[in-house]
């Protein structure tokens, strides 16, 4: 008997996942979305993968622009994760009022100065994966690296600060 989508989701809620903000700068605005499906793919060349809803606007704009940035959120940044995961959200700059940020050299996308790490990325390719796409991203820069910062995690449907 196949696993139901509900059982699958319930099972994976038990697995803690790091929380990241993906941003893309297009011609008119900055688009951002919360992602919990970032994984390292290759060190040489440096590649990461991000899962995005296949029919969502972030995947569409990433494909059109061809570059993005990822900021791994730090403990205490749960409110930002919530802002960027809500439906019908405004542009990224509006959601980041009073939050220190800068732009990356390669993609010109927003990264948060207070994140754990930020990656400047170029889209290598999109791979269909069920109701999602895997965006394979070539890492072209690491503009933020705070090795002493604790990450924000998502566990059992909630954002939690990692110990340490």
The domain that holds 44 is classified in CATH as 2.30.110.10
If one counts the domains in the chain, the total is: 1
162 in a domain, yes or no? no
159 found inside a domain: no
Terminal-residue alpha carbon distance, the chain? 42
Chain segment 43-64, per-residue pLDDT in tens:
999 999 999 999 999 999 999 9
What confidence tens digit (pLDDT) does each residue in 19-40 have?
A: 999 999 988 889 999 999 899 9
Domain residues for 22? 5-147
Q: Exposed (0-12), middle (13-18) or buried (19+): which is 152, by Cβ within 10 Å?
A: buried
Give residue for tokens 């439906």: 87
Q: Does the residue 155 lie in any domain?
A: no
Which alpha helices (DSSP H) does 27-135 contain, by range? 57-65, 78-83, 92-95
The pLDDT, as a whole number, for residue 103 is 96
Q: Is residue 129 part of a domain?
A: yes
- Examine residue 161 and state whether it is found in any structural domain, yes or no: no
In a domain, 111, yes or no: yes
């Amino acid at each position: 008997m196949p696993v139901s989508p509900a059982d699958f989701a319930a099972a994976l809620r038990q697995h803690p996942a790091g929380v990241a903000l993906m941003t893309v700068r297009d011609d008119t605005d900055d688009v951002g979305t919360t992602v919990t499906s970032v994984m390292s793919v290759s060190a040489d060349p440096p590649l990461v993968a991000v899962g995005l809803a296949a029919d969502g606007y972030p995947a569409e704009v990433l494909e059109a622009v061809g570059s993005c940035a990822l900021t791994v959120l730090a403990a205490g940044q749960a409110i930002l994760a919530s802002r960027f995961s809500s439906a019908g959200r405004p542009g990224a700059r509006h959601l980041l009022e009073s939050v220190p940020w800068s732009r990356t050299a390669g993609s010109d996308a927003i990264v948060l100065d207070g994140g754990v790490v930020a990656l400047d990325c170029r889209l290598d390719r999109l791979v269909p994966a069920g109701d999602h796409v895997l965006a394979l991203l070539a890492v072209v820069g690491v503009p933020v690296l705070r090795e002493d910062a604790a990450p924000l995690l998502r566990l059992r449907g909630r954002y939690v600060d990692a110990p340490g």
